[in-house]
Amino acid sequence: MAHEIEIFANGSAGFAAAGKPGWHGLGYTAPGPMTAEELLSNAQLAGWNVRKVPVGQVTDPVTGLPVVTDEDFLVVRTNPVTGQPERLGRVGRDYQVLQNEDVTCFLQTLVDESGAVFDTGGSLNDGRRVFVTMRLPEPLMVGGFDQIDLYLAAFSRHDGWGSFVTVATPVRVVCANTERAALAHHASKFTVRHTGNVAGRIAEAREALKLTWKHGEAFAAEAEKLLAAPMDVKEFRQFANRLHPLPADARNSPSVTTT
């Protein structure tokens, strides 16, 4: 599995987590919840100063004549380790830059004083994609003992290939694989194109994402129903075989019973 976590020139990784490290073992693990500033610093997401640089004049390879454009820009950041400028993507005139600090500010304003805490953050694909998650204060309890945490995960791109997306999800994002899982499995979603104003859409985002708690209650109720449903030995075996099917050679083995 490719984690795609950014590895910098000094060998450090662009990732931080609270309490529990990512499966890849990279980056910084804090002993407890972090502030926005601590997360940005520990994940090496702070101070990138993402900016648009006009392409300006280029040379036509056919005629050799100069071509001037005011439509094309490079997205550039300051590398947090080397301090050098780096190209992240190419965008148009209407593209609005979103700093990593804007992402944490958006999430913090979104949850207000709910008790949600910053949990993970990281840089993927050499800084072209970043993610930040907050763990919501009320986990789901299924059967009185099985705890499922819920998260708000924000995904921002600096390469011009996607929108700013926030999802409510039970997936803890720690890498590219869990990024894809959270975007595929979420209770609610809020999306803003990089040509729009993110900061001014808090009320709209709250309206879209408040389904999280309804989803959580519904999920817990369905899980409790499944937990209470009786299952005989044959049904359990059928369920287990479907959930974790045995390979063909194992099924044919005389020592394995699947009926």
Query: Please, which pLDDT band fits residue 187 given cuts at 50, 70 and 90?
Result: confident
pLDDT in tens, 82-124: 999 999 999 999 999 999 999 999 999 888 767 889 999 999 9
Start-to-end CA distance of the chain, whole Å, equals 34
On whether residue 124 sits in a domain, the answer given is yes
Query: Please, which pLDDT band fits residue 216 given cuts at 50, 70 and 90?
Result: low
CA distance 218 to 222: 6
- 221: pLDDT strictly greater than 90: no
Number of domains, the chain: 1
- Structural domain range at position 175: 1-228
Helices (H), 47-201: 100-111, 176-184
Report the candidate in 136, 98, 109, 103 with the shortest Cα–Cα distance to residue 203.
109
Mean pLDDT of 172-183: 95
On whether residue 187 sits in a domain, the answer given is yes
Do the Cβ atoms of 116 and 136 come closer than 8 Å? Answer: yes
> In this predicted model, which residue has the larger pLDDT, 158 or 115?
158
On whether residue 238 sits in a domain, the answer given is no
Confidence at residue 19, expressed as pLDDT on a 0 to 100 scale:
94
Angstrom CA distances, 177 to 1, 118, 241, stand at 7, 20, 25
Bridge partner list, 152: 134, 168
CA distance 31 to 161: 35
pLDDT in tens, 22-43: 999 999 999 999 999 999 999 9
Burial of 152 (0-12, 13-18, 19+ CB in 10 A): buried
pLDDT in tens, 59-88: 999 999 999 888 899 999 999 999 999 999
On whether residue 54 sits in a domain, the answer given is yes
On whether residue 249 sits in a domain, the answer given is no
Burial of 119 (0-12, 13-18, 19+ CB in 10 A): buried
Confidence at residue 113, expressed as pLDDT on a 0 to 100 scale:
65
pLDDT in tens, 142-157: 555 566 788 999 999 9
- 256: pLDDT strictly greater than 50: no
Across 48-57, 131-140, 223-232, the highest mean pLDDT is recorded for: 48-57
On whether residue 251 sits in a domain, the answer given is no
Confidence at residue 98, expressed as pLDDT on a 0 to 100 scale:
93
Any idea which of 120-129, 210-219, 239-248 has the lowest mean pLDDT?
210-219
